[in-house]
Structure 1
Amino acid sequence: MDQIRSIFIGTILFIPSLLSAQTAAGLSPLAELSLIQHKPIEIPFKNDHPLNTEGGHLQGIQQCLHGEKKYFILSGSNSTDSYLAFVDSDDRKVVGIATLFDAPLKHAGGFQAYENYLAVGVEDNEARDQSLVCFYDVSNLPNFSNVPVFVLRRSGTYERSTAGCVGLVRMGVHWLAVVGDWNTRNLDFYMSESDDLSEGLSLKAQVPMSEQSRSEWIDTLWLPYQNINLIYRDSKVYLLGYAGKDGGNIADLFHLDVSDFSNIKVKKLETFALENTGGDFTWGTGVIQENGNIKGVIATPRNIEESSQLYLYPVSEK
């Protein structure tokens, strides 16, 4: 495994006025998302760091909280490597870029940060026959090390061994990671034996979405989600999937019944059609959660340029 430099970044503060402190407190994920603003707030930011954008694109975005400090991390790919970029949303500029792996593992996919950990898949998006799901400790931000605390290695069948998107959540003393392969045709479920992710996770279930019953779904569509995020609320697990469709953006909410890994049930609860003003959900998209509540969904442009924008869909007050 190629390990490259660690990177140190400065203090990053989010824009608190854009997200209400009272947003949807005590509501279910379905009720919270029913309050989402359909047209995004556009947040400009600058970049003066050298960055190869040839042959790649952004694929994920997450907010990390540490006390009063808030960080945005973006995952991306190019013709030579996979990387994470760090945006200071107070100064609205990129303050650091960390290379993860060199080619062929040059595609960093959709990812999720939860508490002190970040889980991201990096894959060979040309041969499409191998990937790594890397778990990073982000508890020392603003310092970041690109040495994972644990790695899941996937290889074999064309497209089935990719890791285009990863969701991560802690369920009590266990961590649950869900990995979507190429266009999320299949979901793979991994769980830890303890709350220490460095001790690893093991494969518990493989779910071909083409075989899932859709009789109780709100509609029968399972889209080629490029990002998935997990939400754990009242002992229930939910999945948010993001995709571009017919020029617009779609966020779909599912309930995951993981009480029996031999018979996982996926149920579609709702679909949310949102305006695409430049932040296409084909690229980086992620949920914002604070204090157990959904605060919004945020999307990236295709690539980071000298001048770019993030696209925030906040959840309104009750």
Structure 2
Amino acid sequence: MAPEPKQPPEAARPVVTMRDIAAAAAVSQSTVSRVLSGAETRVPIAERTRERVIEASRQLGYRPNPLARGLRGASTNLIGAVVRDFSDPFFAEAIEALVKETMAHGYNVVLGHIHPRLEEAIPLTSVLETRHTDAVILLGDLRVHPQLLADLRGSQVPVIGLWQGTGQLEFPSADTDDRAGIRAGLHHLADLGHRRIAFVSAELPGEFWVREVAYTDFMRERFDGVPADYVQRCPNTLAGGDAALRRLMALPEPPTAVATSTDLLAVGVLHAAHSLGATVPEHLSVVGFDDILISSHTVPALTTSRMPTAKLVSYAVDLAVSLSRDPEASREPSLQIFEPDLVVRDSTARPYRG
């Protein structure tokens, strides 16, 4: 007689989800959730349906997730974070700050990434329905995902927004004074004696042109306008910044200084400047915005407006925890503004006089 096949070790067995039970019992996932949680329902669940769900869960070997504490109304000590773009170094650093801050409060973070197609994103609705998180923090402007925002507006958990752009506020939010950050960098360049200052503007989700508008306003106030083609829009990538500077340096009267709307673009600008022989800062000054980790390690080190990321994240976590513990507290949309600081490094100098 052939030996019976060995059962896979416990850790190797696939995790059975409510979705699996719903498929086996031919019911909706929400019905499975209500049956297994024992929650009261406005419309009673038929006894035969309840038995079918329970039998399917037994046959599949379903084990309730430890997070199901939230089903009973208890805190899960989890904070959900929905991130607009994991590939952006700025958000990578924001996530690290968020993890540190939540741990300091005795919480952990559940990360969700928004893909171009909403159906590929984390199933936030089901997570929120079962209260697997005590609160949700949004990182970045998510207005290009209206259905997601609609789901969040209808959720029972508090939602806090960070860097939500210039649209209508949906939730209690915090952001930086982008105009002040851009103007600080431009004042620095102008005080050094630069007049031909160009701007490389990142194309980001939503209508996020605050930093570009701050540049054009400054140039009109200080120098009576912006020279033709001195604003270059491009993807928020290293390649985008590289290509934008090449276009600027090909102009009949190229700039002596370039400000960018993100540090990621500024690093691309530095790369192109080196390739073109436009030595920074002797022949070209460069100013960024965000002060991501790499900014102090570029060659030369980048002058930039520092995003007060730690302060924004601390504010968001404090508010998320506070609202999760007080259901009666107001969750009306609001906006807390934090000021950036200009960090002067080696990428800026007086205009070349050779």
Higher helix residue share: 2
Length-normalised TM-score, structure 1: 0.23
Length-normalised TM-score, structure 2: 0.21
Bigger radius of gyration: 2
Higher strand residue share: 1
